[in-house]
A and B are shown apart, each in its own frame.
Chain A
Amino acid sequence: MRTVNFSQHDHYRNAVFPSPFHARQKEHNQLREWSRWSDYLSVPAYWCADMEYFAGRNACGVFDITPMVKHLVTGPDALPYLNRLMTRDVSKIKPGRVGYSVWCNEQGRVIDDGTIFHLEEGVYRICSQEHQIDWFMTNTLGFDVNIVEDTHDVAALAVQGPTSCAILKDMGLQGIEDLTPFGLTYFDFEGTQLMVSRTGYTGDLGYELWIGPDHAERLWDRLFDAGKHRGIKAMGSDALELLRIEAGFILAGVDFLPAMEAVRPSHTRSPFELGLGWLVHFDKGVFNGRRALQEEKEKGSRFHLVKLDIDGNKPANQSFVFTKDEKFAGTVTSAMWSPSAKASIALASLEAPHGKSDSRLELQGHSPLQQ
């Protein structure tokens, strides 16, 4: 069992680091705005969030995902450890595959969601939105497993959009077109290893590129060089937010409150309440939250996450949802005007029994939803 040594990363003097792509981001960042994502500087929008969104949907958008918290899980008990930690059956994620998962506390409340990369037999990478090292270490009790948080050791880019495959091919990634969704593979990149996974947060064709931080700028340069005739654009977090809502993906801290951060336990959500019941596998033995989730499955959930199609064209952010007879039904958690669907759409958390079946609901404070 190893504990992560943050001191070597200067955490005590610096709370926020420039990403390994920072020099390139700076060149593209016409708006000169920076935001903070976890331990890193991030770009909300390089020149126009909407245009960056269109790059992601219609050509290729490149988003720096280095700040995503990354952990390496190794050791003889890596698989049983992960199977106890995660709600889904991790044994189904074969080497070279990636799986989305959530993990819960004893009460069956979601601590965070993330992706499990089965890098090679028995070696896993867990990517998460929140820092998880404390919880992951707590989970090692009784397992022969090594957990390292290696966020700073891996630079990563999301390359998303319909031209992404062609660009990567032009960049020299032979056979990239054979990579199936949620697959991962390795390439030689100027003498170092480049991992490519067919994953993303946009619901579109897309890849994520993982490389040592020292090679980050070369990767960026080669990528943008290969993509210059295929509409490649640097993309900020505002555009990504639009893409992920359209895809119906939830975001920790926005669509649900991570259980470890909740002051009031009742404000947290279970996987079922987030529409992620398909990630809960009761046929695999003990896992965190199992007993509580089993009970919830029998007794019913308190909330339902729903996708709303809203009249009008004004994003319904921060709206309350009511039934036709003006009874409170829930809250909108994420909302946008979707340029692709030409519709005002939203994710909302509704109190049970609302949201079980399609029905018409009213939104407070947005009538008429026109702008």
Chain B
Amino acid sequence: MTDSRNIVIIGGGHNGLVCAAYLAKAGRKVTVVEAAAQVGGAAATREFAPGYRASVAHLLYLLDQEINKDLALESNGLSIAASGLDTVALAADGNHLTIGADSVEGAGLSSEDKAAYKEYRRFMSKFAAVIGGLHNQVPPRITYERNDLITLGKLALKVRLLGRDDMREFLRIAGINIHDILKENFDNPLLKGALSMDALLGTFSGPRSNNSVFTALHRMSGNNAGAAGAVSIPAGGMGAVTDALAAAATRAGAEIRTGSPVKQILMDGMQVSGVELTNGEQIAAATVVSNADPRTTIMDLLGARNVEAGFARKINNIRAKGNAAKLHLALDDLPGFKGLSQEQLGQRLVIAPSVEYVELAFNHCKYGEYSAHPVAEITIPSVHDSSLAPDGKHVLSAIVQYAPHELGAGWSEGKDAFMKVVFDLLSAYAPDIREKTVASELLTPQDLESEFRLTGGHWHHGELALDQFLMLRPVPKSAQYRAPVDGLYFCGAGCHPGGGIMGSAGRNAANVILAK
């Protein structure tokens, strides 16, 4: 047993590590207990085939720059292999589009579309900044208390400062679907398809699903490389970010214990008293912070019976249906994507030929099927970072949608068949992909759930949507990182402001705990 003034953080995912680092920096005694053999959760860089490494989270676009600075991630070992990547919208005939931060190029693109893209970027960046401005705020409660009013007032002011026309436009589009917005602005099907992916990756929604503009804005709300939503690839995979966070936390005095799965959160009367590990060891702590998703935290670790029924019901009803499968390929050599130069292979490659194609891909998962013709976001990080594969070899990392968590046929049956669908898809754009592949790994949402302990295999720890955002995340009345159990806090992506390698939830939680 250790000191009860100890703070135990369950889970060494990026948010848990951020939270640990801030708490330790403030002089608190912090112990992080991580179930896996390494920290990082779904961000960890792991060997999926001998000599080949990849991280499930593969692009960095939301990392909070204040956290980056506060925790001195660079001096703790983080370096960026490539940043400000273009998005290449792949076409089966090789006539791809290259979508940059402020311009789009490609065959068959009209000058109207090119001009519209500049305007689209202008207003989407501006609106995304409104969403982004909320990331470092503890969500306000609807009360008349000063801090809550200030936060709400700041939000209102931000919206108002958009100016009359933009404010009206923001309020018009924030709750509607990305298909409508893209249709209003563009003609080119490939451009629309690729842009719609910003709204849909990691969500249970198609281009015509409501509030998919919001999810697009959320994805664009980071400011990593000087442009809204710009993507980077860390050297050494995403695990480099979590390793740097772990180093920062350790340097600040936090103790990190890997290979220590938590069996349950312990209670002493109405107060949290620590955690019990699966090996029976108990760690006493008056404060327990959970980086696990809210449903796992309450239903599995604390036990529904230790909270009031209304809260248990809300937590149990959080929508968390993961739809994104993760593909890792070990490649002998760079694959030949039609019409792409070697330099372009290092960009973010998107397979989403049209919005209609994407919508049809989404249709399947509503009925418990995987997409017959999936969409994908592909990176070949080894182009920028040779440490991920043996000399001259490469790693392909792709998010493939839609692969529902609850596959009607069951994933033990369906996985091989889906793998074939995925290879067929890739082959249409890179005909030699099968020959170049020496090993592969496909992680379905079921796999992500069991390996990373994510409810529903959902990388946001719960669907990101307007009704599960800000003061409604994870559930109404508990959005201030506090569970309604004395001493228990949430710090994961299931809280505001959600998932993606961001760290804001961890920092906000630390602030709440420190302000106690």
Contacts and interface: CB of A to CB of B under 8 A. Distances in A.
B304 A106 contact: no
Interface in B307-329: 307-313, 316
Contact of A288 (B270, B308, B316, B477): B308
A263 interface: no
A84 B311 CA distance: 12
A138 B308 CA distance: 11
B305 A288 contact: no
Interface residues of B, number: 18
Contacts of B309: 84-85, 106, 135, 138-139, 141, 288
Contacts of A106: 308-311, 477
A289 B308 contact: yes
B308 A143 contact: no
A141 B312 contact: yes
A80 interface: yes
A44 B312 CA distance: 41
B477 to A, nearest CB: 8
A77 B312 CA distance: 17
B303 A291 contact: no
B173 interface: no
Contacts of A85: 309
A287 B305 CA distance: 9
B342 to A, nearest CB: 55
Tell me the dominant secondary structure on chain B's binding face.
helix
A81 B307 CA distance: 12
Nearest to A286: B306
Contacts of B310: 105-106, 138, 288
Interface in A34-84: 77, 80-81, 84
A337 B463 CA distance: 59
A135 B309 CA distance: 9
Nearest to A288: B308
Given A142-B299, A142-B303, A287 B316 contact: no
Given A285-B269, A291-B484, A141 B308 contact: no
Nearest to B313: A138
Contact of A143 (B305, B307, B484): B305
Contacts of B477: 106
Contact of B316 (A141, A143, A286): A141
28 contacts: A81-B305, A84-B305, A84-B309, A85-B309, A106-B308, A106-B309, A106-B311, A106-B477, A138-B309, A138-B313, A141-B304, A141-B309, A141-B312, A142-B299, A142-B303, A142-B304, A286-B270, A286-B305, A286-B306, A286-B308, A286-B485, A287-B308, A288-B308, A288-B309, A289-B308, A290-B270, A290-B308, A291-B308
Instruction: Give me the 7 closest cross-chain CB pairs, A-B, nearest first.
Output: A142-B304, A106-B310, A139-B309, A142-B305, A141-B304, A288-B308, A141-B312
